[in-house]
Amino acid sequence: MEQPWIHTTVLLNEAVDALFPEGSDVTGTYVDATFGRGGHSRAILERLGPSGRLIAFDKDAEAVAEAARIEDARFSIRHQGFKDLGELPPASVSGLLMDLGVSSPQIDNPARGFSFRFDGPLDMRMDTTRGESVAEWLATAETQQIAEVIRDYGEERFAVQIAKAIVARRQERGPVSTTTELAELVAGTVKTREPGQNPATRTFQALRIFINAELEELQQALEASLAVLQPQGRLAVISFHSLEDRIVKQFIARHSREVYDRRAPFAVPKAMKLRALGRIKPSQAEVDGNPRSRSAILRVAERTAES
């Protein structure tokens, strides 16, 4: 019998409300760029009119299989990452949602290798049908490469020590191949850690972000959003850690101001492309009911009509 991995959608009402302000076009095309287990998609479909359309993206084959259960002619799913948003027609989208990070079914399934809480293969790929697993990468990567990934994507101050320990283990007993092996290795290397945080937290985050090129894909998707959103179309992005949120915050800020060419001070400035509408965090009630939501931040912006 298949394990019913449970996923609680974070900021469900807030995100969907952001896409559908008063007077919004319920006949338009909307995009759920990270389907996951479909919580946001199902809520969007409830808001859409009969002629509206929802397009979802997801790299995870299990998410695509879950999407196949939605029997609604207005809905379609693409087995693609959201970096491919640019394939949609220009100015065709009324609202675009990105819910970043890993879903609970991915974390809680030991076979996916995302969590140090369960023993399983050290995989961590969002799309298990292609690409290199974390274990495969660690089996050949050099110490400096590993240290840079753990430092840059995990903000881990013990990155060099951890990288050296991984390579030493590989030389002595063979490469690390399971989540438990990696977690124990990191715990034996990192002697101090913030209260309540597992020593392996930052390392697992870093390797997951790296192996899936998450930050690079986010940057590509945000740039594509400018092309596919129609004027007054809404962009809503939920992030779960500082690296993601910094990229989203800076992207919205950069495109929410007029750009002047210093070489031509009297020239007409380039019009801003977005209007920032603020950020939203989960309520205390949501955090109490779903502790995984505590770090979530929803940022919302609206596409302007460029002159």
pLDDT at position 264: 56
Average pLDDT, the chain: 91
Q: Hey, what are 130's tokens?
A: 């292609």
Does the pLDDT value for residue 208 go beyond 90?
Answer: yes
pLDDT at position 197: 83
The tokens 């596409």 sit on which residue? 303
Which band of pLDDT confidence, cut at 50, 70 and 90, is reported for residue 307?
A: very low
The mean pLDDT of 247-251, rounded to a whole number, is 97
C-alpha distance from residue 15 to each of 19, 63, 154, 188, 279 (Å)? 7, 20, 27, 41, 11
Work out the burial of residue 305: count CB atoms within 10 Å of its CB; fewer than 13 is exposed, 13-18 middle, 19 or more buried: exposed
**% of the chain surpassing 70 pLDDT:** 93
The tokens 């999407």 sit on which residue? 67
Sign of CA dihedral 154, 155, 157, 160: positive
Q: Is the pTM of this model over 0.85?
A: yes
pLDDT at position 196: 75
pLDDT at position 1: 34
Q: Where are the alpha helices (DSSP H) in the chain?
A: 12-19, 39-47, 61-67, 104-108, 134-138, 143-154, 159-173, 179-189, 201-211, 214-228, 242-254, 284-289
pLDDT at position 224: 97
The mean pLDDT of 73-91, rounded to a whole number, is 96
Does the pLDDT value for residue 163 go beyond 60?
Answer: yes
Indicate left, alpha or beta for 49 from its phi (over 0: left) and psi (-120 to 50: alpha): beta
Nearest to 12 by CA among 291, 229, 301, 293: 293
Does the pLDDT value for residue 266 go beyond 60?
Answer: no
Does the pLDDT value for residue 82 go beyond 90?
Answer: yes
Task: Say how far apart CA 44 and CA 74 lie, in whole Å.
Answer: 11
The mean pLDDT of 82-93, rounded to a whole number, is 96
Work out the burial of residue 218: count CB atoms within 10 Å of its CB; fewer than 13 is exposed, 13-18 middle, 19 or more buried: buried
What domains are defined for the chain? 12-104+214-303 (3.40.50.150), 128-211 (1.10.150.170)
Give pairs for 55-58: CB < 8 Å, separation 24+: 55/29, 55/30, 55/31, 55/88, 56/31, 56/32, 57/31, 57/32, 57/33, 57/81, 57/82, 57/84, 57/85, 58/34
Nearest to 295 by CA among 256, 252, 245: 245
